[in-house]
Amino acid sequence: MPELAPLSSETVEALRKTSAATVTGLLARRGLRRATIAGARPIVPGTKMVGEAFTLRYIPAREDLDWTGTLDNLTDAQRVAIERVGPGQVLVIDARGEVSSGSLGAILATRLKVRGAAGVVTDGAVRDYVEIGESGLPAFCRAPHPGANKVIYHPADFGLPIGCGGVAVYPGDVLVGDDDGVVVIPRHLAAEIAQEGAENELKEEFIMGRIRAGRSIVGTYPLDEAGLREYEAWKKAR
């Protein structure tokens, strides 16, 4: 695939202010309704993650490929991928939804953190669950499991399109994660979703203020013409 230009800092910052829920709504308006990675939840509640996808694909382990007694960091696809994930990227693992062993452990997660990765997402489990959470690396998974990944996984390749939690993920796609889960934004839509998302969050702040003040949802959610005028005045006064 051609090398992608880095995401602008404005896009990243706007997406940091935009919830995964808002992103799903904006994608749905564009006909994209299969964007949320099923089952992926943050290890640490309150985690916010924004970054570009670096993909890694696992297939089922096989005895003549795995558990040979040696592990070559220079040829094993998982280990090579770890050393190629760059600043601002999210390692996205296609673990086939398998949670009967860990798909990543704390040492490799810490290496990602040191390399400046924006996070890690797997549709499987992780081992060293608490330790990964304490590493400071935004991490999303389906469950904890103490088993090593070679028990059931064989890392096949990286840097290619994958399926993660029922969602197609292409290298360079943009991921937004929070307590609601992880949403995948096609790269070409990232800037406009970020711009719309920031405005949408501001409008929802205004709407929530009206609801908390006792206003009816009628004319408020969604805003009618009078409500929109009030919103524009509120925004200018901020």
pLDDT in tens, 134-166: 999 999 999 999 998 788 899 999 999 999 999
Mean pLDDT computed over 223-231: 96
- CATH number for the domain including 48? 3.50.30.40
Whole-angstrom Cα Rg for the chain: 20
For 13-22, what is each residue's pLDDT tens digit? 999 999 999 9
- Does 4 map to a domain? no
- Does 3 map to a domain? no
Residues 40 and 148 in one domain: yes
Of residues 63 and 10, more confidence is placed in: 10
Residues 105 and 183 in one domain: yes
Instruction: List beta partners, residue 44.
Output: none
pLDDT of residue 62: 86
Residues 147 and 220 in one domain: no
Whole-number percent of the chain with pLDDT over 90: 88
Residues 202 and 223 in one domain: yes
Identify whether 222 is preceded by a cis peptide bond (ω within 30 of 0): yes
Contact 183, 56 (CB under 8 A): no
Tokens coding 173 = 């796609």
Give 3-state DSSP helix, strand, coil % of the chain, rounded to 5: 35, 25, 40
Please report, for residues 28, 74, 124, 226, the alpha-carbon distance to residue 21 in angstroms, rounded to integers and kept in the order given: 11, 40, 22, 26
Of residues 41 and 62, more confidence is placed in: 41
φ and ψ at 82, to 5 degrees? Answer: -55, -40
Tell me how crowded residue 189 is: count the other CB atoms within 10 A of its CB.
17
Of residues 71 and 48, more confidence is placed in: 48
pLDDT at 2 over 80: no
For 178-222, what is each residue's pLDDT tens digit? 999 999 999 999 999 999 999 999 999 999 999 999 999 999 999
Q: What is the mean pLDDT of the chain?
A: 94
pLDDT of residue 90: 98
pLDDT at 224 over 60: yes
pLDDT of residue 158: 98
**Domain stop point among 147, 167, 188:** 188
φ and ψ at 58, to 5 degrees? Answer: -105, 145
Mean pLDDT computed over 172-176: 98
- Does 223 map to a domain? yes
Sign of CA dihedral 95, 138, 161, 74: negative
pLDDT at 3 over 80: no
Count how many domains the chain has: 2
Domain containing residue 216: 193-237
Residues 50 and 146 in one domain: yes
- Does 1 map to a domain? no
pLDDT at 68 over 70: no
Task: In whole angstroms, give the CA distance from residue 146 to residue 57.
Answer: 20
Residues 23 and 41 in one domain: yes
